[in-house]
Amino acid sequence: MDRTRLRAAVLGHPISHSKSPLLHQAAYDHLGYPCDYAAIDLTAAEAPAFAASLHDGGGWAGLSVTMPLKAVMVGEMDRLDRRVQALGVLNTVTFSRAGSGTVLTGHNTDVDGIVRALRHAGVRERPRAVVLGAGGTACAAVAALAELGAAGVEVCARRFPDPAPGTAGVHAAGERTGIRVQSRHWEDAAQACSKADVVISTLPPRAADGLAGELDGVVPGGVLLDVAYDPWPSRIAAAWSGAGGTVVAGVEMLLYQAVEQVRLFTGDAFHDEAGVTNAMCDAVGIPRR
């Protein structure tokens, strides 16, 4: 392609562990799309100034956004898609032109990533579900479970923080996506998990380690999706597998949400979804689809 090379990046803090650069660069190389993808360490305090600088253009194709910026960046957008409006958290920023200016739009592809990772693992409609954690990714997990037809979800967390201005929180996310959210104390988490068809841990690495020793079996065919993928396997994933359950690594969610990000970043240049997906799988060493 005879085009000026674009750039894209993942924003977060810390960010050195991220596999997003491997996934995205493999996709752009497969498509022959002229884009270089990097990781940028950015704290919540630095986010507003960085977002303001993006309105100057700079050849951006798009941005991926991870912790602790998923709620922080919402207030820095010019536009929000309907999913972000409902959840109050984003993981994706796209760029477009309006007159002489650059317009930043926030999207959330985490929901797609969770739904597709669970379906790939064999999860069917209307699962009995538990979410561990109550932050931004938990909001996406609630929305994903709504798309899977779950009537309700139990959310277990050490604390349920008051949502920041402009954000939703897990209870509002449930109301806006049509799923009943029941909050439970962290002390009840092991019992809740043992009765669930699907458990989604949205906790940071090692934050669920203590729960691993408290699990009292899992339901036949029970699935755990642990969004943390470094270190892997996590203690809770090893305990779940040891009890006979099915484990979905966080990199599976990362894969599928990244496919949707690449679709948004490349627009009409996106083609061969199967080839893009398999190129990404090769890049991070997981089985092809």
Active site residues: 70
Q: List b or e across 199-238, with b for residues whose CB sees 16 or more CB atoms inside 10 angstroms.
A: bbbbbebebbeebbeebeebbeebbbbbbbbeeeebbbbe
Residue with tokens 């409902």: 86
Contacts of 146 (CB under 8 A, 6+ apart): 174, 177, 178, 179
* Position 62, amino acid: G
Rounded CA gap, 85 and 79, in Å? 9
Query: Are 250 and 229 spatial neighbours (Cβ–Cβ below 8 Å)?
Result: yes
Beta strand spans in the chain (E)? 6-12, 35-41, 60-65, 79-80, 92-98, 101-107, 129-132, 152-157, 180-185, 198-201, 223-226, 246-249
Residue with tokens 């689809």: 289
Which sign does the torsion angle of CA 194, 123, 205, 72 carry?
negative
- φ, ψ for residue 11, nearest 5 deg: -110, 140
Q: How many alpha carbons fall within 13 Å on the CB side of residue 251?
A: 23
Query: Are 136 and 71 spatial neighbours (Cβ–Cβ below 8 Å)?
Result: yes
Query: Are 275 and 34 spatial neighbours (Cβ–Cβ below 8 Å)?
Result: no
